[in-house]
Structure 1
Amino acid sequence: MFTHLEYIDGSSDKFWEISTNGKSHTVSYGKNGTSGQSKTKEFDSEEECEKDAKKLINEKIKKGYSEDGTSGSKRI
């Protein structure tokens, strides 16, 4: 799974993305136009990894992130 979200509002122009690979996921975030920062987290199972990734995606959407940078209410 790979999800890329953006938040563009006033002076904010940032991205957040997550990709899963087996029992781990990597979150990358930062200002649009930069490579940003990345953090990888390991889990005991692929199911736990997917569940956590979906939870993080929904948290970002609640904060106003969307696929095109405008506020949306898409949930995974």
Structure 2
Amino acid sequence: MDEQLLLCFGSHIKSIRISQQLSQEQLALKAGLDRTYISGIERGKRNVSLVNLVKLAKALNLPLSGLMSFDTGFSND
């Protein structure tokens, strides 16, 4: 269940990044994070901290709620 959630979140981040025509490197620079960390998020390998969620939201010009609005793949969504 946790792996599925991380994969869904990573896919959501990737789709936002691509829709804004940003590379992983560009997003990483805007967020003050490492490119490999962004890659890990998008592949569902990283469980992102609240601090880094806020950094990502700011870098993507989204409210935190917008960043967290994604389909988890669970039936109760």
State the TM-score bracket (shorter-chain normalisation): under 0.3
TM-score normalised to structure 2 length: 0.25
Greater helix fraction, Structure 1 or Structure 2: 2
Hey, which of these two has a bigger chunk of strand by percent?
1
Q: Relative CO higher for 1 or 2, CA cutoff 8 Å, sep ≥ 6?
A: 2
